[in-house]
Structure formats: structure tokens, C-alpha cells
């Protein structure tokens, strides 16, 4: 049998840098960036990094000036332009590092330090950065935890950039230990080589069928997205909050997972790391809901092994998808040579990812279902469509209609 070629990665427009908002003086925020200022979509990217040594704040400030502030968005205000109906635009400004670098050095034992870090991150999610300064800050916690000698927390408003662009910025700041001027190597996924044979009717038929399947899946997913925005709600469960829950305080608890264990499952299941983590999430949510429903039953104890879950629970998540084209390792290294050349922005779409809520005898079944759902979402252009739909809605109807589908309209 001939081996068919796998589907190529979805390619977006070639001039990606033209889509991303460059931060030239007076340029308006992109539609997606404006959407992140809506109450239901007001999102910050919060990153906590454990460090093996104590952090010197003066060294951090010196490197922020020399490195990060070369990126225009990190030294620009988001100012309302009254000439264009209050539309936000980028305006360069002088950065006072005392407003952006916060240092805490509490004297606590290790157990209390772990709780302190969790509380600190939770409090950051409840507060906002003033728009009178560039919307980012760095929090240095010189406190010994169970896993690190100190913790550095970076908070960036999502209007500045998405996760992929921020990771590119972080990588451009890092260097090899063996060579202070050399960028670290990036391990990119290996592409399958196309078959050397010219192929036959069956191979061309399979390729045509794959293309038609992508368009059919896209049509189904876009219709389902529109139905969800209008009226199709998820099943009411203890996980579902009331309208406006996105603005309420939340509790953040972190758990350190062994990457070696994740890779072991990934390799054994011929899956991806995302598949494994989604499977773990499905297992955790299923057991949590089973326990909650068991306690709500009359005389129920929610014991493990007793299925208390209602049938056909509909639970979905809005999953973000990077729309940038795949870069080769040498292309990525060339892009990261200069901090100012790193393209910050929000080139992301989103898909509705369904979770399977059920108790499984075999824990690996959670990974199998996550892998199947992930493969199905890869064979669709839903993320590309939602990106352009959001831009269109924002352009003609404002940011409220272009926000993420966190609740139905009717």
C-alpha cells in the first residue's frame, strides 16, 4: 500500500507582519487588541517563573531598559483618540521602571511561601494595570519556595500580544550558557517528507476527500459557533457560573507536573503533549463533577467508582489557536536576533473544544478521546474563520459583538 501524505499545516496570509499591529506613533490598536478591553474579554497574561538564585532587582531594571524597552509596545500608552470616537491608539512615552518593577521579600518558611505565591498571583488576577502607564509589570518575589529560591511574575495585558508573540520575546532575551551571544536552539517539529512516487488515482482521491472534509468540518463548526453565540448553552453544572462571573475574584492554585511523565504517556499513545494535558483535564473535571453530584444526591457520598454524573453533559471550552505560519528553525532564529524586530500582536483564532465528561475504567481513555477531538479540530478552518469574523464584527458593530463566546446572546 502506498503511504499517503499528511495534511499540510494551515497557511494564513503570507504578510503576517502586515496583519499584526506595528506600534508606530499614533497607530490605532488592532480590532482584536481592542476586544481585549471589553469586560468579558479583559485578559492579562500572567507568567510565574521559578529561579534557582535570588534575584537582584537592579540587574533586572538594567536589563529591562537595555532589552525589553526596545520593543515599542512595552513603552507605549494606549490612549483614546477623541477624533475617532475614542478609539485607542499607541503613543510612545517615557517609562518609569518604579511603576513596573515591584519587589517583595517577605520572611516566611517554605510551606507558607508556597501559599504566599499562590495568593499573590490570585491577587494579581483581581487587579488591573492603569492605562496611564504601559500595561505590563514585573513582580520579583525573593522568597524561597519548595521548588525555587525566588519567583519572578510577569503580567502583560493581552492587547499587547498573545502567548506566542510573548514567548518569542522571552526567547529573544535568552542566551546559551556556553555562548552569551548565541540564541538557544529551538526544537521544531519534523515535517514528513512527501512520497517520492507520483501517486495514483487512489492517492489523489484521498487528498481530494481530505480537502472536502476540511471544508465540511469548517462549515459545521462555524454554524455550531453561531448557534452557540445565539442560544445554544452548555449544560448547567457546578462549574458554570452566573452571567458576569468573568469579573469576579478567582482563586489560582498551581500544580507542578513532571514533563518526563507527560512525554512518557505521549510517546506510548502516539499523541501530543496537548492531548495528554487535555486528557488529564477531562479526567479531573469528570471526577470533580462526579463527587459534587454525589454529594447533592440524597444520601449520596460521592464515593469513587459510583457514577453520579448526568448523561450527555455538554461542556465546551474556548481554545485559542495560533494562526502564524510554521517557521523553520533558522527562520525563527533570524527573527529573534533583534528585540525590536519581534512582532508583538494578537494573531489568534479560537475554536469550541468539547470535553468528554464521563468516568472511565481505563485512565488512558481520557487521552484517547482528547486525541480524537484534537485531530477533528485540526481538520477544520474554524480558527481562521473566527479570527476574520471577530475582525469583521468589531469593524462594523463594535467590540461587544466580537468578544469571545463566554455566554449566549439570548
Question: What pLDDT shows up at residue 28?
Answer: 85
* Residue-level pLDDT at 410: 46
SS3 at position 321: strand
DSSP H helices in 231-313: 259-269, 273-296
pTM comes to 0.80
| Rounded alpha-carbon distances, angstroms, from residue 72 to 30, 216, 332 | 15, 42, 20
The predicted structure's pLDDT at residue 13: 40
Retrieve residue 203's grid coordinates.
492517492
Residues linked to residue 152 through DSSP beta bridges, in sequence order: 49, 140
What angle do the packed helices 201-230 and 382-397 form, to 10 degrees?
A: 40
pLDDT tens-place string over residues 241-286: 777 666 677 778 788 888 999 999 999 999 999 999 999 999 999 9
As a whole number of angstroms, the distance between CA 150 and CA 108 comes to 12
Whole-number pLDDT of residue 328? 54
Give one DSSP letter per residue of 45-98, joined into a string. EEEEEEESS---HHHHHHHHHHTGGGSGGGGEEEEEEGGGTTEEEEEE----GG
Q: Give the whole-angstrom CA distance, residue 406 versus residue 242.
A: 11
pLDDT mean for each 10 residues of the chain (410 residues) = 41 40 66 83 88 91 79 90 83 91 89 90 89 94 92 94 86 76 66 57 89 95 91 89 71 84 95 95 94 77 70 91 70 54 81 93 94 95 91 78 59
Active site residue 100: no
User: What is the distance between the alpha carbons of residues 270 and 268, in angstroms, rounded to a whole number?
Assistant: 6
Residues 350, 352: Cα–Cα separation, whole Å: 7
Q: Given the C-alpha cell 503570507, which residue does it identify?
A: 14
Q: Output the CA torsion sign for 406, 346, 275, 122.
A: negative
Query: Cα dihedral angle (380, 385, 386, 387), rounded to 10 degrees?
Result: 120
Mind listing the domains of the chain with CATH numbers?
A: 44-157 (3.30.559.10), 201-410 (3.30.559)
> Among residues 157, 158, 204, 254, which one is catalytic?
158
Nearest to 210 by CA among 380, 13, 382: 380
| Chain center to CA of 66 | 28
**Tens of pLDDT along 202-241?**
888 899 999 999 999 999 999 999 998 888 889 999 988 7
Amino acid at each position: 500500500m502506498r503511504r499517503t501524505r499528511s495534511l499540510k499545516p494551515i497557511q494564513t496570509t503570507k504578510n503576517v507582519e502586515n496583519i499584526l499591529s506595528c506600534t508606530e506613533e499614533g497607530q490605532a490598536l488592532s480590532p482584536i487588541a481592542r476586544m481585549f478591553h471589553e469586560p468579558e474579554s479583559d485578559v492579562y497574561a500572567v507568567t510565574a517563573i521559578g529561579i534557582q538564585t535570588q534575584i537582584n532587582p537592579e540587574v533586572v531594571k538594567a536589563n529591562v531598559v537595555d532589552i525589553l524597552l526596545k520593543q515599542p509596545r512595552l513603552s507605549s500608552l494606549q490612549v483614546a483618540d477623541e477624533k475617532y470616537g475614542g478609539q485607542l491608539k499607541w503613543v510612545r512615552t517615557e517609562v518609569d521602571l518604579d511603576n513596573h518593577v515591584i519587589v517583595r521579600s517577605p520572611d516566611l518558611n517554605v510551606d507558607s511561601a508556597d501559599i504566599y505565591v499562590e495568593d499573590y498571583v490570585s491577587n494579581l488576577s483581581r487587579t488591573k494595570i492603569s492605562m496611564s502607564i504601559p500595561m505590563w509589570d514585573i513582580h520579583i518575589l525573593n522568597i524561597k519556595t519548595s521548588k525555587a529560591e525566588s519567583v519572578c511574575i510577569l503580567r502583560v495585558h493581552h492587547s499587547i500580544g498573545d502567548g506566542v508573540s510573548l514567548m518569542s520575546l522571552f526567547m529573544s532575551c535568552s542566551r546559551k550558557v556556553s555562548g552569551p551571544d548565541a540564541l538557544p536552539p529551538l526544537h521544531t517539529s519534523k515535517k514528513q517528507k512527501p512520497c517520492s512516487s507520483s501517486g495514483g488515482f487512489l492517492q489523489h482521491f484521498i487528498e481530494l476527500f481530505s480537502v472536502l472534509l476540511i471544508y465540511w468540518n469548517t462549515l459545521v463548526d462555524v454554524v455550531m459557533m453561531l448557534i452557540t453565540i445565539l442560544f445554544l448553552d452548555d449544560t448547567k453544572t457546578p462549574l458554570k457560573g452566573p452571567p458576569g462571573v468573568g469579573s469576579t475574584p478567582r482563586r489560582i492554585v498551581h500544580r507542578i507536573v513532571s514533563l518526563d511523565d507527560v512525554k512518557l504517556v505521549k510517546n506510548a499513545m502516539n499523541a501530543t503533549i496537548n492531548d495528554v494535558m487535555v486528557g488529564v483535564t477531562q479526567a479531573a473535571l469528570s471526577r470533580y463533577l462526579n463527587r459534587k453530584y454525589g454529594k447533592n444526591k440524597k444520601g449520596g457520598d460521592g464515593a469513587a467508582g459510583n457514577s453520579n454524573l448526568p448523561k450527555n453533559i455538554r461542556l465546551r471550552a474556548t481554545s485559542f489557536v495560533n494562526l502564524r505560519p510554521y517557521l523553520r528553525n533558522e527562520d525563527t532564529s533570524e527573527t529573534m536576533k533583534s528585540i525590536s524586530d519581534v512582532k508583538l500582536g494578537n494573531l489568534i483564532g479560537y475554536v469550541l473544544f468539547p470535553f468528554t465528561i464521563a468516568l472511565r475504567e481505563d485512565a488512558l481513555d481520557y487521552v484517547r478521546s482528547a486525541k480524537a477531538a484534537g485531530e477533528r479540530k485540526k481538520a477544520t478552518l474554524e480558527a481562521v474563520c473566527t479570527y476574520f469574523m471577530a475582525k469583521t464584527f468589531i469593524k462594523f458593530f463594535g467590540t461587544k459583538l466580537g468578544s469571545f463566546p463566554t455566554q449566549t446572546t439570548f
